[in-house]
Amino acid sequence: MEASHRSGFDRCMTTSHHVSSHHPHRVLVTGSTGKTGRRVAVALTAQGVPVRATSRRAADPRDRFDWHDRDSWLSALSGVDAVYLSYQPDLAVPGAAEAVGAFAALAAEHGVGRVVLLSGRGEPGAADSESALLAELPSATVLRCSWFDQNFTEGALRDVVREGVLSLPAPAWRREPFVDADDIAAGAVVALTDPSWAGTVVELTGPAAPTLAEVCVLLEQASGHPVTYLPAEPAEFRAALVAQGLPGAEAAFLSGLFAEVLDGRNSATTDGVARLLGRPARSFAEFARDAARAGAWATEGARR
């Protein structure tokens, strides 16, 4: 099979050649049903690393982790010595830095040696959370990431291709170096299993930064569905989110956050994926082609 046709999980398993033999005893993976947490848990398990996969809605109390229930932190940390940490809904929300700092202090008390935090580029609130983590656990690793490719297949933008319009509070010429969640997960596994990444902040992006209009072209070429970019004012974007059923406060937060991180501050690419994995980051074009082949945007009738 050609490399460009490999599944994302295959890529996670075969490209982390920087990984040392210093595997942790057991890794706590928070948000294990999310885009990156699920991939991290699978990749670690494939390497023979025991995983405690937790989520907010886990049926078994032993597998439950809720940022608003500190008792769940204590049980989740029992018997682990490394953590993959993701915060819901976003590290930029008020109170996130305090919660991350408190968790980090508790982890340090329990002898956790390695923590990898999923963070976002260009978010002052996320930067505060990173600082709170590193103040308690200087050996932690921060993976500061661009927007995920998988937002178009597993997230808020998954209906964009079928509906034919991508609308965000940014001009069509704004560039965003979307990064693949499989690359993030593979990088997290390296950071969790190779102590040389302790105490570092690594920015992860795709290998190129297409404009938002070019993203639509790539989606259209891959899927065969017409996709147009339509810039929106923040107020318009917020109203659209409310119309989709989001509470007003959450819609206001997201519209402000999107306008902030899409103001051009994050347009530059980095070599973070290549440094972690020893190979180039996956391109958005490759992601879109593979997603289309997998039927990500096929109609229900076409899937049968």
- Per-residue confidence (pLDDT) for residue 291, from 0 to 100: 97
- Residue 300's pLDDT band, with cuts at 50, 70 and 90, is low
At 299 the three-state DSSP class reads coil
| pLDDT over 70 (residue 107) | yes
Give the DSSP H or E segment for 165: strand 165-166
HSE-CB at 88 with a 13 A cutoff on CA atoms is 17
- Residue 3's pLDDT band, with cuts at 50, 70 and 90, is very low
| pLDDT over 80 (residue 301) | no
* pLDDT tens, residue by residue, 204-243: 999 999 999 999 999 999 999 999 999 999 999 999 999 9
**What is the token pair recorded at 147?**
């927007």
Instruction: Judge contact between 101 and 133, C-beta under 8 A.
Output: yes
Instruction: Judge contact between 238 and 244, C-beta under 8 A.
Output: no
At 141 the three-state DSSP class reads strand
* pLDDT tens, residue by residue, 160-216: 999 999 999 999 999 999 999 999 999 999 999 999 999 999 999 999 999 999 999
User: How does the average pLDDT of the chain come out, rounded?
Assistant: 90
Query: How much is the pTM?
Result: 0.90
| pLDDT over 80 (residue 59) | yes
Between the two ends of the chain, the Cα-to-Cα distance in Å is 25
Question: Phi and psi at residue 271, in whole multiples of 5°?
Answer: -105, 20
Instruction: Judge contact between 187 and 157, C-beta under 8 A.
Output: no
| pLDDT over 50 (residue 8) | no
Instruction: Judge contact between 172 and 212, C-beta under 8 A.
Output: yes
Question: Which residue carries 């769940």 as its tokens?
Answer: 72
At 94 the three-state DSSP class reads coil
Q: Which CATH architecture has domain 3-148+179-206+267-281?
A: 3-Layer(aba) Sandwich (3.40)
**What is the token pair recorded at 116?**
């990898």
CA–CA gap between residue 207 and residue 190 (Å, rounded)? 19
Give the DSSP H or E segment for 166: strand 165-166
CA–CA gap between residue 178 and residue 151 (Å, rounded)? 10
CA–CA gap between residue 304 and residue 301 (Å, rounded)? 6
**Long-range CB contacts (within 8 A, 24+) of 62-69:** 65/28, 65/30, 65/31, 67/99
Among 125, 54, 64, CA closest to 90 = 125
HSE-CB at 289 with a 13 A cutoff on CA atoms is 8
Question: Which residue carries 């978010």 as its tokens?
Answer: 123
**What is the token pair recorded at 41?**
């848990």
HSE-CB at 201 with a 13 A cutoff on CA atoms is 14
- Per-residue confidence (pLDDT) for residue 1, from 0 to 100: 30
Among 24, 49, 239, 286, CA closest to 141 = 24
